[in-house]
Amino acid sequence: MPIVAPFQPLVMPGWDAAPKLATPAEVTEAHGIDERTLRNWVGRGCPQAVGGARPRYELAKVFAWSAYYAHLQRRQQTYRTPVPLKIAYEDAKNWIIQREYELSPASWNRYVCVPLEWNHPARAHLLRVACEGAPPAPFDDEAA
């Protein structure tokens, strides 16, 4: 499995704001892979800058794509789900946006799991917690 950049830099705000065009040698050095692996990645959908005689790569996009590719490989090893032959950069970016949301403190504790069993000892308390701050229902007698 290829070595990819740590995930933390990808979730920093503005990680893709300033694209840096890199040569294949710079990309392979940053990822610790050889050029053959990079060509394989391009064949699988890794983003490549268009134009010019020599290939160039936006380093942030390659990091994002390779992180998503590594995630798919881990998922394949764990759950036996096949890795798609082509992986679009948009899928990688959507995955990163989802991970940013999941890892941000603003998204923590936004959901309350209420047990479905009526006689569960924590059901009444969790229902009260889930309803805190909710507007009163129009048919609620106490709101009138």
Is the Cβ–Cβ distance between 47 and 65 less than 8 Å?
Answer: yes
Average pLDDT for the chain: 79
Answering whether pTM is above 0.75, one says no
- Does the structural domain 8-107 have CATH classification 1.10.150? no
Q: Please tell me the predicted confidence (pLDDT) of residue 6.
A: 40
Q: 24, 69, 85: which is closest to 49 by C-alpha?
A: 24
Supply the pLDDT for residue 8. Answer: 44
Say if residue 138's pLDDT is above 70.
Answer: no
Task: Delimit the domains of the chain by residue range.
Answer: 8-107, 111-144
Q: Output phi, psi for 22, to 5 deg.
A: -120, 150
Q: Tell me: the pLDDT tens digits for 58-98?
A: 888 998 999 999 999 999 999 998 999 999 999 999 898 88
Band of pLDDT at residue 46, cut at 50, 70 and 90: very high
Whether 56 has a pLDDT exceeding 60, the answer reads: yes
For residues 64 and 92, the answer to whether their CB atoms sit within 8 Å is yes
